[in-house]
Amino acid sequence: MNVQGGAVIRPATATDHDAIWDILRPVYRAGETYCIPRDISRDAALADWFAPPFTAFVAELDGRVMGTSHVGANRPGGGSHVANASFATHPDARGRGVARSLVEHAKSWAAGQGFRAMQFNFVVSTNADAVHLWQKAGFEVAGRLPGAFLHPRLGPVDALVMFQTLKGDTHEP
């Protein structure tokens, strides 16, 4: 268990499935921020969220699960020293520091696991709150993929690749 900015961050368990699905369902159904089928089933969504090589976490405020993340290797082999992560929060968490706590926890956990950097492969550019949060947390836009995401209301929008070194020189073996 880890306290970050008032939120208690802990590894997610099967007893958290309902709370995690309550957070993921509206995000996935909206189809505006993740490359996940909008009609994904609960079981498929949870299987994806908990799938190796990722470790799933939840953020609790006042004993209630208000956010979730999963963190793990971005790619195997030569890319295994770079972590990736995904985040989602409950609408009631807005403005309460839960997302920031999850991001800081993910960076700290990844560094503690020996990851040297963290990369977000496909950040939908119109997800302004997330882009702003991640930039405040030290991530930089490393690339832009023009029109790579088919937004359900806006049509093709750009996707961003965001990156941050966690420790040391990421070019060393």
Local confidence band at 167 (pLDDT 50, 70, 90 cut-offs) = confident
Does pLDDT of 141 surpass 60?
yes
Does pLDDT of 172 surpass 70?
no
Local confidence band at 170 (pLDDT 50, 70, 90 cut-offs) = very low
Q: Dihedral, CA atoms, 51, 20, 135, 141, nearest 10 degrees?
A: 40
Residues 6+ apart with CB under 8 A from 154: 126
Taking residues 105-115, what's their average pLDDT? 95
pLDDT above 90 as % of the chain: 90
Q: How far is residue 129's CA from residue 29's CA, in Å, rounded to a whole number?
A: 18
* Least confident interval from 48-57, 83-92, 115-124, 163-172: 163-172
CA-based Rg of the chain, rounded to a whole angstrom? 15
- Each domain of the chain, given as residue ranges in start order, spans 2-165
Taking residues 91-104, what's their average pLDDT? 92
pLDDT at 107: 96
Contact 14, 105 (CB under 8 A): no
Local confidence band at 152 (pLDDT 50, 70, 90 cut-offs) = very high
pLDDT at 24: 97
pLDDT of 99-108, one tens digit each?
A: 999 999 999 9
Does the predicted TM-score (pTM) go above 0.95? no
pLDDT at 6: 76
Does pLDDT of 139 surpass 70?
yes
CATH class of 2-165: alpha beta
pLDDT at 1: 57
Taking residues 154-172, what's their average pLDDT? 83
